């Protein structure tokens, strides 16, 4: 029988594999900056390389230390997620799934950054010429979904988070 932690690891690995498979397919079947309309006026595939972070932030200047900083941020995020997951009850399945999905997305973009120095983005949502969401990938989607699930879990369990803080406050006071 598979443990809960084993299942969560499997979720993380599946997110990572699906992300990299999608990036591989895009990079092998499309030319850089090529665009393919899927739903005209709303959704298209656009193959771009993002040297920044989410939504292309920090992509303009290219200081030599930037890839190392972004990689270090990803490593710190993964370590924080692992520690937090370990200290939270396995029974909080929504929280644990949210952390596994988020970590899969972080690792997907981290692996791209290490291998290429940039991240493959290809999903472009827009509404005709009036709205354009920055191009993203499945790892970005996993991170967003994971954080949304984390917020949902925190709404389901606000008393548990408050209880942990009260315990810490009492311990600090020696009560």
User: Are 73 and 143 within 8 A, CB to CB?
Assistant: no
Return the DSSP state at 65.
T
- Which has more confidence, 165 or 36? 36
Question: Which pTM was predicted?
Answer: 0.83
Q: pLDDT of 4-61, one tens digit each? A: 788 999 999 999 999 999 999 999 999 999 999 999 999 999 999 988 765 555 555 5
Burial of 12 (0-12, 13-18, 19+ CB in 10 A): buried
Token pair, residue 56, equals 């292309």
Instruction: Report the Cα 161 to chain-centroid distance in Å.
Output: 23
Q: Which residues pair with 50 in a beta bridge?
A: 119
Return the DSSP state at 133.
P
Active site residues: 121, 140
Report the SS3 class of residue 61: coil
Q: pLDDT of 72-116, one tens digit each? A: 899 999 999 999 999 999 999 999 999 999 999 999 999 998 898
Give the angle subtended at the CA of 51 by the CAs of 25 and 32, to the nearest 5°. Answer: 40
Q: Give the pLDDT confidence score for residue 30 in this predicted structure.
A: 98
């Amino acid at each position: 029988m598979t443990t809960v932690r084993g299942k969560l690891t499997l979720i993380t690995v599946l997110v990572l594999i699906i992300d990299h498979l999608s990036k591989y397919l895009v990079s092998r079947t499309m030319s850089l900056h090529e665009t393919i309309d899927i739903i005209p006026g709303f959704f298209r595939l656009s193959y771009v390389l993002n040297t920044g972070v989410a939504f292309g932030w920090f992509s303009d200047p290219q200081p030599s230390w930037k890839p190392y900083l972004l990689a270090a941020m990803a490593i710190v995020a993964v370590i924080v997620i692992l520690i937090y997951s370990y200290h939270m009850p396995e029974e909080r399945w929504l929280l644990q799934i949210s952390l596994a999905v988020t970590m899969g997305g972080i690792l997907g973009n981290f692996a791209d950054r290490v291998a290429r120095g940039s991240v493959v983005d290809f999903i472009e949502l827009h509404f005709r010429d009036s709205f354009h969401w920055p191009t993203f990938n499945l790892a970005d989607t996993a991170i967003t979904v994971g954080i949304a699930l984390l917020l949902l879990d925190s709404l389901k369990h606000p008393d548990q988070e408050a209880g942990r803080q009260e315990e810490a406050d009492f311990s600090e006071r020696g009560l």
